[in-house]
Amino acid sequence: MRLTPLLLACLFALPVAHAAEPPKHLSAKEILDASPDADWRTLDPASTLYMDVPGGRVVIELAPGFAPAHVANIRTLAREGFWNGLAIYRSQDNFVVQFGDADAEDTAKAKPLGMAKTKLPAEFARTGDGVSFTRLPDVDGWAPEVGFVDGFPVGRDPKTNEVWLAHCYGALGAGRGGPPDSSNGSELYVVTGQSPRQLDRNITLVGRVVKGMELLSTIPRGPEPMGFYENATERTPITAIHLASEVPESERTPLQVLRTDSKTFAAATEARRNRRDGWYVRPAGHIDLCNVPLPVREAKR
C-alpha cells in the first residue's frame, strides 16, 4: 500500500466514518462545530493588540488580570506608537522571538518611553482570590495544579493561593534584566518553541498571541546560541503595534475565543485527551496544559 498525501491528510485529524452506526465519540472538531454562541467570548478591544509586520497582522490578547501594571504601560506605549518602526531583533530556534528597541542601550539613539513608566513591579503571580480557575485533571511537573483562567493557561498553588500565567507556545512576556522588577513592557518576547515552563514565575507574562503565530514562528533564526541578529538588515520590521480600541472599527480583526470555562471547552479537551477517532490505537489518557488548543474564530460583524 502506498501512502499518499491525501491519505496522510487523515493522519492526525480526521475521524473515520462508520456507515452502519453513528459515532459514539465526537471529535474535538465536531464538538466545536456544535457549540452554542454563548460558549464564545469576543475579544475586548481595549485589551487586544494588533502587531502589524510585513507578512500580516498578529493579534494578541493582553492579560490585565495577571499583569495590571505591565498592561497599563503597554497600552500607553501602544498609544504613543512606541513600537512603530522598531523591529524583531532576536529569533532563537525552539525558544522565542524578541522585539522592541534594539538601540535602547545607546542613550543617544534610544526611543523615549514617553508617558510610560520606567519602573514597574514584578508581576510573576497573582492571588487566586476572585479568580475563576478551570482545573485540568492532568498531572503537571511544573506546577501543583494547572488549568485555565479567562482563556489563559495557568499554574496554581493551592497552598499559597497563587495563580500565574504559563509559558506555552504563543505566550507574550516582558523581557527583564537581572533584578526581578527590571521589566517595563517595552521589550517583549513571544514563545515560538517547546514551552519553556522553567520561566514561569521568573518573568512577567502579559498576554498571548491569539492569531498570526505563523508570522512570528517562521522568522529566520539569528545566530546561536541566543538568536540576536548581527546585522540590523536581518531584523523583521514592525510596521505598528496598536490597541484594537484605537483602530477604526472597519480596520479591526474581530475575533472570538472559546470560553475555557464552557462545557464545549471541557468536552473538546476530553476528546483530545482520549482520541477515539479510529486512527489512534492507544489514546493517551492525558493532555499537557500547553497541548490544549485554544480555539479562535471570526466574530460575526
Residues 124-183 that bind a copy of itself (CB under 8 A): 124, 138-142, 168-169, 175-180, 182-183
User: Taking a C-beta distance cutoff of 8 angstroms, is the pair 101, 187 a contact?
Assistant: yes
**Chain center to CA of 136:** 18
CB of 245 vs a copy of itself, minimal distance in Å? 26
Kind plus residue range of the DSSP H or E element containing 97: strand 96-100
Distance (Å, whole) CA 234 – CA 124: 32
Residues 93-112 that bind a copy of itself (CB under 8 A): 93-95, 98, 100, 102, 104-105, 110
- Binding residue for a copy of itself, selected from 44, 46, 119, 158, defined by CB under 8 A: 119
217 contributes a contact to a copy of itself by CB under 8 A: yes
Site membership for a copy of itself, residue 220 (CB under 8 A):
yes
Candidates 218, 232, 246, 249; binder of a copy of itself (CB under 8 A) is: 218
Q: Give the C-alpha separation, 208 to 223, whole Å.
A: 26
Distance separating alpha carbons of residues 174 and 9, to the nearest angstrom: 38
Which of the ranges 30-38, 72-80, 185-193, 241-249 carries the binding residues for a copy of itself, by CB under 8 A? 185-193
The residue range among 45-53, 192-200, 250-258, 262-270 that interacts with a copy of itself, by the rule CB under 8 A, is: 192-200
Q: Which range in 17-25, 71-79, 117-125, 126-134 contacts a copy of itself by CB under 8 A?
A: 117-125
For residues 82 and 111, the answer to whether their CB atoms sit within 8 Å is yes
Taking the least distance from each CB to a copy of itself, the nearer of 46 and 110 is 110
Sole residue written with cell 471541557 = 266
Q: Measured between alpha carbons, how far is residue 200 from residues 28, 123, 170, 171, 173 in Å? A: 29, 11, 14, 11, 10
**What is the size of the binding site for a copy of itself (CB under 8 A)?**
82
Shorter beta-carbon distance to a copy of itself: residue 5 or 36: 5
